[in-house]
Amino acid sequence: MKNERIFLLFTASGNLGKAAVDYFMRNSFDYYYFFTRENIEINSGKKNFEIIKVQDLTNDANVKSAFSSVKINKKASYFLFNTIGGYYGGKSIADTDYHDWLHLQNINVNISFLIAKHFARLTAEVNGGSICFTSALSSLKPEILKAAYNISKNSLNFLVKTLALEGKEIGLSVNAVAPFIIDTPSNREWVKDISDMINPEAICNVVNSLFENYRVISGNIIELPGTLKEK
């Protein structure tokens, strides 16, 4: 009897999250948990999923409550994709409002920390698994006018690498994808070179590859600079 594979997605209502729902529902997981603040519709003939409404995920009690909805199968492996993130830019450090700074730390780091904390506890009880976060290519080098965003994502990278070291003891692999510009309707309004973008399904394909090889891949920030130009 094969070990079951359980998929978890935070959150299922954003552009990347919606694409992840469609993509991973077409893959061979035995059960799905979709966490979301908004109502979503899943157009699939499958019935092996739950939609779990969650509120403020910067609150530890709310994240703990969300994970309490996940059934523990000690012989199963669990896989979590966290698509939560926020962007803020265009201002120097001197002009950045402290409220905006804290907001990005909450969205890009603190929520990820809480999800990592409770998923690590879950993984320690089961047959291992993997978690993948959504970082950003710009987190890997300093840039002007993006300090709050890049620093928050860089902190996320450090969380990934630290948890990957701890994860060895419990069979947990930890990685992040770091796209440059995700192909969304709003980004298409301003992007100059379409090859700088990567579509959400391609990102999901990379994440799935990390999950397929989670026993040997951990601690990586996978750079996704965009789509190669056709000759």
Collapsing DSSP to helix, strand or coil, 127 comes out as: coil
Provide the pLDDT for residue 154. 98
Provide the pLDDT for residue 231. 60
Say if CB 202 and CB 225 are below 8 A apart: no
Dihedrals phi, psi of 9, to nearest 5 degrees = -130, 125
Collapsing DSSP to helix, strand or coil, 6 comes out as: strand
pLDDT in tens, 179-197: 999 999 999 999 999 999 9
Match 């069979």 to its residue by tokens: 171
* Cα 76 from chain centre: 21
Give residues with Cβ within 8 angstroms of 130, minimum separation 6: 77, 79, 80, 172, 173, 174, 175, 210, 211, 214, 218
Q: Where are the domains of the chain?
A: 5-224
pLDDT in tens, 49-99: 999 999 999 999 999 999 999 999 999 999 999 999 999 999 999 999 999
Say if CB 86 and CB 39 are below 8 A apart: no
**Which neighbouring-strand residues pair with 181?**
197
Match 């092996």 to its residue by tokens: 48
CATH homologous superfamily of 5-224: NAD(P)-binding Rossmann-like Domain (3.40.50.720)
Q: How big is the chain by its Cα radius of gyration, in Å?
A: 17
Does this model's pTM top 0.85? My answer is yes
Collapsing DSSP to helix, strand or coil, 139 comes out as: helix
Q: Is the model's pLDDT at 158 over the cut of 60?
A: yes
Task: Please state, in angstroms and rounded to a whole number, the distance separating the CA atoms of residues 90 and 25.
Answer: 37
